[in-house]
Chains A and B, each alone.
Chain A
Amino acid sequence: MLEKILLLLSLSLSVAEELCKPGVGEAYKVRFSIKTALGDQAYPWNKNEMFLFRAALAFAMRDFTNGEEFGVSDIHPCNETQRVSFWFVVTRPNTMDLVDKGTVEMAIKKSRNRINGAFLLTDKTLEFDGIYPTLAAPVSPDTPPWLIVFGVVMGAVSVGIIALLVYPLVQRKLKKNMDADDEDSDEETGVKTAENGANDGIYNSTFSDDERFTQM
């Protein structure tokens, strides 16, 4: 039993070594920049993290191919460096046939966010060499915000102009009405003062006759 397991392991290892050749065939290179992304909270890279990677990638393959039972053992990494970068290939479940680059790429693109999330990284810090992240479409709201600000400013200015132009006209009209009222009261008082004033001076009687004539 033990011998069989050992044989299988060595076989798979050698097969993996043959399958996964950097820069050749269906292999992809991946780079982790954990310290850049997380700073003090960076976790160290070890075999467990590698296991997580293989599991995440197996998930991505399953998700994309809709059910094909990819497992952790179908992801074969090699040439690991202290950069934390390595190459990997994907084989079909239970076989040694390599999955072509295109399929792997599309699977990764589909589940990119999930893979990033598993490692607390981003598109920039978890880099798949050759797979470019889909660009986020810039947010374009229905009404451009600048028109709103323009509307507010111009509205205030227009109201101001109209107010400044109309206010003196309104004031003038009010004043005219007030003046008309004042004139009525003024006439009465004016007559009174004339009478009062006439008492102060020397009253010339010759003119009083004239007034009677002019009234006609």
Chain B
Amino acid sequence: MGKDAGPEERPKWDNKAQYLLTCIGFAVGIGNVWRFPYLCQIYGGGAFLIPYLIALVFEGLPLLFLELAVGQRLRKGSVGVWKTINPVIGGVGIACLIVSFLVGVFYNTILAWVLWYFFHSFQEPLPWSTCPLNESRIDYNLECKKSTPVNYFWYRETLNITPDIEISGSVEWGMVICLASAWCIVYICFIKGIDSVGKAVYVTSTFPYLVLTIFLIRALTLPGATDGLLYLFTPDWQTLTNPRVWLDASTQIFFSLSVAFGGLISFSSYNEEKNNCERDAVLVGVINSATSIYASIPIFSILGFKATTAFNACKDENILALTNYFEFSDQNITLQNYDYWYEYLNTTYPEKFQSLSLRECDLQKLLKQSVSGTGLAFIVFTEAVISMPGSQVWAVLFFVMLFSLGLSSMFGNIEGVLAPLNELKLLPRWMPKELISAVICLISFLVALLFTLSSGNYWVEVFNGYVGSVPLLIIALFEIIGVIYFRGMKTFSDDIYIMTGRRPNIFWKACWMVISPLLLLVVFVAYVIVQAQTRPTYQAWNPDYEKFPETEEKLYPDWVFAIIILLCVVPVISIPLVALYQLLRGRFRKSSVGMELNPYDNDAFVTDTQEQKTQRA
């Protein structure tokens, strides 16, 4: 049953659980696992929770409630909803469509990377645990020796990355087939619209929690876990005075909840009208934040374990050097009495000691190595997994969890593309929805082939940093303005009364009318200022760099910079364009009404029906 079939019967959720799981799955994504713990770490651990929760309450929940209410009441996708409220802001829906498409394209590439690692986790030993030999087979590959096997596997064997974004390199065939698999899996889940999505989310939304719990239990028993956790949660109250912290907390909440994509509006439009969307919004928002906090516990236990392992390895290296040099009996110096011997030898034989040039082993420094994003999942975590007994199992579980998290977010992106397309009536009516989904997946796959080039990772960073940020803020701002000022607070309160049985209380009203738009505006302006202060740079993996294995910081060339500007502007350009078009059309129509020589046209009724239309809407 498609939306355009016969008497316009809208698809429905089988039950409330499907709807909630889909919304939660859309909100809870890979960012909850690899972005939030990083922010927590660099912004003073437990102290970061304060700006985070404040942002959730005053910015996240109002926006979420707004989108769910609007979709459920007007029972249309993101384009139809804004057209209904006022044709002038119809462009917001089109902006949602473009943003959902662009984000879907690069997000699924990340899932393709996760799939690649998943496929490679079924080997013994794990392929990222050892370096390959070089051509002469006498020694290890040079690039791998200088960095680490884990880095080598990610940058060379997975991405085959070029040293510069301008050097495109060639298409990586391994990555192409992983990308094709990712899109096929998205397609099979979306083949029957929300009928199949509703069933898929039973697995994709719940499985990550199961894996996180397993990891939690495993991680807490690893040595060094408590060091990691202490480091994560020890609050540093000083950071609260840094405005950057508040900015990052607000942006994190905003992007984490997946508002302004249009997907949430579509999902809630398939609900029955009398559904308590206020409770749903609060539930989804709270579960999203709770998941972030819950996920950071095993992540940081494992990071603590990794730091401890590296710390002990460093000490072992030094112990061996000392034992060999001073000809002590084997195992005289152990990890336990290392400090004593270190001090003793340093003071008794200073020159000899210095000549050894031992590495400085510092646990705090190792813990400070903070990583987020792909670095966390594909470099840091994979390295930790090698040291855990039963590595293959943990690697497989981890990558399946990441894939589930990302897949359930992809559903929201695809819905944000399909629903507006159907409403814009751009597609012929004879196309069944299976064919439409297939065409969308195919087009997205072809566009995403750009990211399978050797320079693909740099492009994903470009898209991630610029498409998934500024346009969303603008869209969200216009959404609030559209509902509160175009539809009117009174009408909207009536809508909510019809749906939930009571009007929104003073907290919601205050947020919608003043606090949230203000917060969004401040975040948007601050974001733009911060970005505009410095010329954007990227980290390049260049084996010929003199400080290799550190990444080289390079400036984006001008043509890439132009593309960045395009990516920020093109999605939102539809808002003013459509507004302009509607205003001109309205004025044009008013002037041409008198020119219509339609004999049956009674001018008296024309204005009446227009008023009736606006009253009904």
Residues of A that sit less than 8 Å from B by CB: 31-36, 81-85, 135, 137-138, 145-150, 153-154, 157-158, 160-161, 164-165
Contact = CB atoms under 8 A, between A and B. Distances in A.
Given A32-B330, A145-B122, A154 B181 contact: yes
Given A146-B120, A146-B123, A165-B434, 15 more contacts: A32-B330, A82-B329, A83-B327, A83-B330, A84-B330, A135-B137, A135-B139, A135-B140, A145-B122, A149-B122, A150-B119, A153-B181, A154-B184, A160-B188, A164-B191
Give me the 3 closest cross-chain CB pairs, A-B, nearest first. A35-B331, A146-B119, A81-B327
Contacts of B191: 161, 164-165
A85 B326 CA distance: 11
B486 to A, nearest CB: 41
A30 to B, nearest CB: 12
Interface in B175-203: 177-178, 181, 184-185, 187-188, 191-192, 196
B130 interface: yes
Contact of A161 (B116, B130, B188, B323): B188
B569 to A, nearest CB: 37
10 contacts: A33-B331, A84-B330, A138-B132, A145-B120, A146-B123, A150-B177, A153-B119, A160-B188, A161-B187, A164-B192
A146 B130 CA distance: 17
Interface string B103-127: 0000000000000101110110000
B324 interface: yes
Given A81-B327, A150-B119, A164-B196, A135 B133 contact: yes
A157 B188 contact: yes
B179 to A, nearest CB: 12
Given A36-B331, A150-B177, A157-B181, A83 B133 contact: no
Contact of B133 (A31, A81, A137, A146): A137
A148 B184 CA distance: 17
Given A138-B132, A150-B119, A83 B328 contact: yes
Contacts of A138: 130, 132-133
A35 B330 contact: yes
Interface residues of B, number: 31
Contacts of A146: 116, 119-120, 122-123
A138 B191 CA distance: 43
Interface string B398-419: 0000000000000000000000
A147 B324 CA distance: 46
Contacts of B132: 138
B583 to A, nearest CB: 45
Contacts of B330: 32-36, 83-84
Contacts of A157: 181, 184-185, 188
Contacts of B118: 149
B279 to A, nearest CB: 34
Contacts of A149: 118-119, 122
B334 to A, nearest CB: 10
A145 B396 CA distance: 14
B609 to A, nearest CB: 42
Contacts of B184: 154, 157-158, 161
B186 to A, nearest CB: 10
Contacts of B138: 135
B326 to A, nearest CB: 8
| A31, A33, A82, A138 pick with most chain B CB within 10 angstroms | A138
B122 A137 contact: no
A146 B434 CA distance: 30
Contacts of A34: 330
B118 to A, nearest CB: 8
A137 B187 CA distance: 41
Contacts of A32: 330
A83 B323 contact: yes
Interface in B142-191: 177-178, 181, 184-185, 187-188, 191
Given A35-B331, A164-B188, A137 B181 contact: no
Contacts of A83: 323-324, 327-330
A215 B602 CA distance: 50
B177 to A, nearest CB: 7
Contacts of B120: 145-146
A51 B37 CA distance: 59
Contacts of B187: 161
A85 B118 CA distance: 46
Contacts of B331: 33, 35-36
Contact of B329 (A84, A148, A154, A158): A84
Given A35-B330, A35-B331, A150 B137 contact: no
Interface string B299-343: 000000000000000000000000110011111000000000000
Contact of A150 (B140, B181, B329, B434): B181
A165 B432 CA distance: 11
Given A83-B329, A160-B188, A145 B177 contact: no
Contacts of A154: 181, 184
Contacts of B137: 135, 137
Nearest to B118: A149
A177 B120 CA distance: 49
A165 B191 CA distance: 8
Nearest to A153: B181
Nearest to A135: B133
A176 B371 CA distance: 60
A85 B122 CA distance: 42
Contacts of A153: 119, 181
